[in-house]
Amino acid sequence: MLCQSRCAVVAARNGVTTGQPVVHFEVMGKDGAALQSFYSDLFDWKIESDNPMNDGIVQRDGNVTPEGAGIGGGIGVAPEGYSGHVTFYIEVPDVKAALAKAESLGGSRMMGPDKVMERIEIGLFNDPEGHTVGVVKTTAQA
């Protein structure tokens, strides 16, 4: 895995692409504040919780290696009655199409496409083994 990560950074610098990138991670659980504290203490992440979704946001900037590797994410409270999940989000050009493709390949749609903030549309699906994966499209500011 480590080699894959470093190889991807080198490949990107040389103009080689490997498909759609992972752009965000998410850790959702019953006690968002406790999870934020845990991950902040464990990895020395800078977490901002003053935002419209009331999640702890881990900005990519300030949480990367000296080579610039890393992604941002969120740590927060799962909806009532749901124990939570750990997942990652892939940037896609069309959330609806990505969810439909996941379903056609044996996955199952959990939600979406849903607009969660002014410029962000997301969807979630379970892969054939039940792992939660997110897809996201961010539109440019007008």
Q: How confident is the model at residue 12 (pLDDT cuts 50, 70, 90)?
A: low
Is the pLDDT at 2 greater than 80? The verdict is no
Spatial CA neighbour of 23 closest among 54, 56, 60: 60
The pLDDT tens digits for 38-49 are 888 887 888 888
Can you say whether residue 98 is alpha, beta or left, with left for phi > 0 and alpha for psi between -120 and 50 degrees? alpha
Mean pLDDT, residues 19-32 taken together: 88
- Contacts of residue 64, defined as CB under 8 A and 6 or more positions apart, other chains included, come to 70
Is the pLDDT at 6 greater than 60? The verdict is no
Domains of the chain: 20-138 (3.10.180.10)
